Structure formats: C-alpha cells, structure tokens
Amino acid sequence: SVQRIKPLTGVVADDSSAVTLGVDYTAAANWKGSAQVQWQTSTTSRSWLTSAALANKLDADWTLLNRALYNQQTNLSGVGGERKLMTAQTGFSYRPVETNQLNALGRLQYKRDVDSTLGAGLNRNEASWLASTHVNFQPSHHWLMTGRSAPRSVTDRAGALDSRSLTRLLGGRSTWDATDRLDVGLQAYRSVGHGAAA
C-alpha cells in the first residue's frame, strides 16, 4: 500500500507519506506466518516499522506462537533524537480436542524502549520481562475455574536515575451455572510489587 496525507486546513500542516509491504503465508497444514514492513516520512519525523508472526501447530493439542516487532522513529524537529521500540513474544496454547476439560495459555515477552527525544539529560532506556499463564479447568458442564499468574520485571534508566521493580499478579475465578438463567461467580486477585500490594 502507498499512503499520502496532506492536511488542507487546521493547525497541523505536516504532510506525510508511507509505503507498506506485507505478506501472509497460509498454505502449509501445520504453520502460518506473516510479515510486514512500513516506512513513513514527514517534515517532522521519519520511521520504520517491521513485524513478523509465526504460528506452528505441533500436534492436535499444542500450538506454538511467536511474534516480533521493531519500530524506529527519528525526530526531525525540536530536540531531535530517536525512539526505538522492540518487542519479542513467544507462547503456547494447549487445547485438547478430545476432552476440552483443561485449556492453558502461556506467554513470555521481552520489551525494550529506548528514547532520546525527551531532551538533554532525559534519555530513557527501559527493558522488561513478562511471563504469564492462563489456565481454564472445567470439571463439569456447569462449573468452570480459571487461574492466572503473571510476574513482570522492569529495569528503567532515565537520565541519572536507575530503578528496578518486580511485580507479581496471582488470581483465580470460579463460576457455576445455578440455572439456565443464573450464574454464580467468585474471584480473587492479588498484585504485589515495588513496596505495594492490592
């Protein structure tokens, strides 16, 4: 695709152009993939955005999921500088086709954000790791239990400041179909990290 934006009236008069190329592959029986690259430019900024995703079905019950994204934006006005955002994710899904009593999702994510557009002495460099699991268990047709766990570690360097934090989320929910029109549910979640709890 090719895109051209030219404001006719208003305060913003920043013309921009963008070119995008994307591809999807779905012919294989056990895997699917996609990729995209975009270039955008205007009088105030210029950026690249690339992304890719791959889903691989290992067998009837297990599927592996991978995704990556990279974005670089250069500031052409003001203080200048650029911002880079990188994200990489890998995960799995477990969905047994025969029983369907227990389903599970898991994900591991790495994210990094480097920003030098904030001005002198305010450069930021943040990196984080996130691991999350989601489990659904249905012991009977009327009863469903779900659980979730997600620890997250962050390192943030902004100017002369350096901070680290670890946050953990743990919780669950249980629902019961009392009748065809009435559901009863109970849930509890707890978040702990960086000197605070909820």
pLDDT tens-place string over residues 66-93: 999 999 999 887 777 899 999 999 999 9
Give the helix ranges, DSSP H, for 59-104: none
What predicted TM-score, i.e. pTM, was given to this entire model? 0.82
Angle at 54 between CA 48 and CA 58, to 5 degrees: 170
- Encode 110-126: b = buried (16+ Cβ within 10 Å), e = exposed: ebebbbbbeeeeeebeb
Q: In the predicted model, is pLDDT for residue 196 greater than 70?
A: no
pLDDT tens-place string over residues 76-135: 877 778 999 999 999 999 998 888 789 999 999 999 999 988 776 678 899 999 999 999
pLDDT tens-place string over residues 8-64: 877 766 789 999 999 999 999 899 999 999 999 988 889 999 999 999 999 989 999
Token pair, residue 111, equals 């994210």
